[in-house]
């Protein structure tokens, strides 16, 4: 990963970002139903944390899901993320997270919202790490509505 705080200008590592997108797609497909439909919710328990995946939109080539934690007061809060799966390209990217309505590929630094230069890569890498943890240690459970 690029050193963000160095004096060198930041350039998006497109190949690295695409690798993360591809692995996120595979991991999410392992956690989602085979033929998802809008409104499908899958809930999982990992250690003392509960989280869910909710399908909020399906188009011809994409599926949009929300990833959120269900615990009322989690010790380690998972940011709520909106992830778009591009089914034709077999990649998944974080589109929005918490206060970020649209994640940009690169941010100038410093900026008023204090986003890191590589915020998009960090969010997608975090999702990848979280999904790996869930696949290794999680169990399916009834949805928590």
The Cα 89–Cα 86 span in angstroms is 6
Per residue in 29-54, pLDDT (tens digit) is 999 988 889 999 998 888 778 889 99
Considering the entire predicted model, what is its pTM?
0.78
Which residue has tokens 């790996």? Answer: 132
Q: Output the pLDDT for position 97.
A: 77
pLDDT score of 2 more than 60:
no
Most confidently modeled range among 6-10, 28-32, 89-93, 111-115: 89-93
């Amino acid at each position: 990963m690029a050193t963000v705080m160095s004096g060198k200008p930041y350039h998006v590592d497109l190949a690295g970002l695409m690798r993360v997108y591809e692995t996120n797609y595979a991991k999410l497909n392992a956690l989602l139903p085979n033929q998802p439909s809008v409104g499908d919710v899958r809930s999982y328990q990992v250690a003392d944390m509960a989280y869910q995946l909710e399908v909020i939109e399906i188009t011809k080539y994409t599926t949009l899901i929300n990833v959120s934690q269900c615990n009322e007061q989690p010790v380690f809060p998972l940011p709520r993320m909106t992830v778009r799966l591009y089914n034709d390209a077999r990649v998944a990217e974080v589109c929005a997270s918490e206060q970020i309505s649209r994640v940009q590929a690169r941010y100038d630094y410093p900026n008023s919202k204090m986003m890191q230069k590589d915020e998009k890569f960090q969010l997608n890498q975090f999702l990848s790490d979280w999904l790996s943890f869930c696949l290794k240690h999680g169990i399916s459970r009834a949805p928590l509505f």
